[in-house]
Every structure is written in structure tokens, then in C-alpha cells.
Amino acid sequence: MTSGIHEGIFEAFEAGALRSASIMPVMPAFEQAAREARAAGSALGVGLHLTLTIGRPLTCAPTLTDAGGEFLSLPRLVTRLCTGRVSRRELANECRAQLYACRQAGLAPTHLDGHEHVHVLPVVREVVDAILMEEGIRFRRLPFERLRGSPFPWRRVPARLALGVAARSGDPRQRGARAADAFFGLSLFGSASFADDLLRQLDALPRGTSELMVHPGHVDATHPVRDRYTTGREIELRALTSPAVLARLRQGDIELLHFGSA
């Protein structure tokens, strides 16, 4: 998204706290982020962070943008999707353009997720699934975080339930796609005690593969006004690079992977 955010991501990667990231081709810092991702080599898996609610599209997409040519906010996008006012052709063209931008930058996307989880919205999900199957990208994020067994069962319940319903409706795994066995991170989002909560979540991981969503980063003057997650990014970065979290990751019962190695 910005230089500060991807610098924070690479700090966490170099510390040994993460192996997977996703990139936003529509944002100004894309080229710099792509160069650093290429330099990381196969140790870092890089996916497409499909973006439809911040920045400007790579294609002509009037049904996805406002009068100034900016992507719509999430509520306005959802309204247009639910009222049939989004062109599937424009949506497909934009998705392909973002995917091809990654490849032209020398990256081979290992997976797809979405800014504000737009990839699981109605219509978007159907278009994206078809393109990913054509392009041979099988992994995608399913942001369904179970309440049962969670160390934080009552946090962000409305968001977790809404995303869970969207993610499980027309589950792409039924059509040959793949996802992690479990997903976590919504209940940690915005936590003031992120480091302690992250340790509790790591202790509670189930058997199998789990995707743990985090948003580390530095917030600088170029941070988009529409993205209001600021202080939390710095808190997450400090937690991910803290001695306690790094020691927990090295205990031997957790293996860090990316989608290209899963």
C-alpha cells in the first residue's frame, strides 16, 4: 500500500515472523514492494491483494469507481453489487489487470486475498474464482474464523459471522480451489494487547494448516486517508518482532509456510 507498510512487512519477514504476504498493484508503492519481494526469493510467498475499495483501477471501470475515478468505498461497492450495477466484464478486466501487473513485475502469485475481503463478496467471488481457475492459482483466503475453540470467542462477532457466511457461500473448494484448513486474525484485529493475544492464538492453533492474518507496518505521511488502520499496524509490527513471539514461533511445534510451499 505504502512504503512504510511494506517496510514493516519486510521487517517482520526478515525477523522470521512471516513467510507470506500479498501485494496491491494499484497503489503507488507497488514497484518498490515488487523489487523487494523479488529480492526475498522463494522464502517469501507473494499473492495478489485484490483491491476494489481504495486507490484507482488499472483499467477503465466506471461501474467500480466514483466521479473522480477512485474506487468506491466498501459500502458503496456492496450496494452496487447487490443492486446489479457492477459490470462483470469490468470486474473481470480489473482482476486480470492486477494479476498480470504482478506477473509483469516478475512475481508469480501464490494465492489471492482481498483488501477488505472484497474477494468473497457476491459477484466478485464468482468472477474471481473463474479467473483464478483459468490462471492456475488454486489458493485463496477464506476468512471464516470459527467461534468454537477460539481464545477470543466473543470478539468482533458480527464481522466474523458476516465474513463467514460470505466465505462459505459457494465455497470455491467445491470447485477444486484450495485454502488453509483454518483461518484466524479477525479477532486480533485492532487489539491493544496484540502481543499477548497473538501468543494465546499461537498456543491454540489446531492441527493442520492455519492462515493467521496480520497487518504489520509503519504509518507515514503517504498513508491513504481511507485506510483508518494506523496505530494498530505499528502495534502488530512490534509484537511480531518481539523476542517473546519469535521465541514461541521457534519452539518447534509450528512450521511457517507460504502458499507456494503448502
Asked if the structure places residue 10 within a domain, the reply is yes
**Which residue's C-alpha cell is 466514483?**
66
Distance CA 61, CA 41 (A): 34
What backbone torsions phi and psi does residue 17 show, to the nearest 5 degrees? -95, -15
Give the tens place of pLDDT for each residue, 214-234. 999 998 888 887 888 889 999
Task: Decide if pLDDT at 262 tops 80.
Answer: no
In a domain, 170, yes or no: yes
- Judge whether 16 lies within some domain: yes
Q: Is residue 242 part of a domain?
A: yes
CATH number at residue 100: 3.20.20.370
Which DSSP state fits 133? H
In a domain, 261, yes or no: no
Q: What is the mean pLDDT of residues 34-48?
A: 96
pLDDT over 70 (residue 30): yes
Residue found under cell 459471522: 161
Q: Encode pLDDT of 159-201 as tens digits.
A: 666 666 666 666 666 566 899 999 999 889 888 899 999 999 9
> Do 187 and 168 contact (CB within 8 A), yes or no?
no
Sign of CA dihedral 246, 248, 253, 259: negative
Q: 239-249 burial string, b = 16+ CB within 10 Å, else e?
A: bbbbeebeeeb
Which one is predicted more confidently, 187 or 242?
Answer: 242
Q: What is the pLDDT of residue 159?
A: 61
Average model confidence (pLDDT) for the chain?
91
Instruction: Tell me how far apart the 2 most distant CA atoms of the chain are, in Å.
Output: 53
Segment among 52-56, 94-98, 165-169, 250-254 with least mean pLDDT: 165-169
C-alpha span between 143 and 152 (Å, rounded): 16
Q: pLDDT tens digit string along 142-151?
A: 988 877 667 7
Which H or E element spans position 212?
A: strand 210-212
List the grid coordinates of 152.
477470543
Query: Is there a domain that residue 254 lies in?
Result: no
Residue numbers of the domain that contains 81:
3-249
Q: What is residue 46's predicted lDDT score, i.e. its pLDDT?
A: 98
pLDDT bracket for residue 54 (50, 70, 90)? very high
* Per-residue pLDDT tens over the stretch 81-115: 999 999 999 999 999 999 999 999 999 999 999 99
pLDDT for the residue 228:
82
Does 56 map to a domain? yes
pLDDT of amino acid 151: 72
Q: Per the domain annotation, does 157 fall within a domain?
A: yes
Q: Is residue 141 very low, low, confident or very high in pLDDT (cuts 50, 70, 90)?
A: very high
The whole-model pTM stands at 0.92
- Is residue 152 very low, low, confident or very high in pLDDT (cuts 50, 70, 90)? low
Spatial CA neighbour of 217 closest among 71, 48, 11 = 11
On whether the CB atoms of residues 162 and 187 are closer than 8 A, the answer is: no
21, pLDDT greater than 90: yes
Q: How confident is the model at residue 156, as a pLDDT?
A: 60
**How many domains does the chain contain in total?**
1
Angle at alpha carbon of residue 12, lines to 238 and 167, rounded to 5° = 95
Torsion angle (degrees, nearest 10) of CA 182, 119, 229, 202 = 10
Sort residue 69 into left (φ over 0), alpha (ψ -120 to 50) or beta: left
- Please state, in angstroms and rounded to a whole number, the distance separating the CA atoms of residues 18 and 11: 10
CA dist 103 → 31, 96, 119 (Å): 12, 11, 19
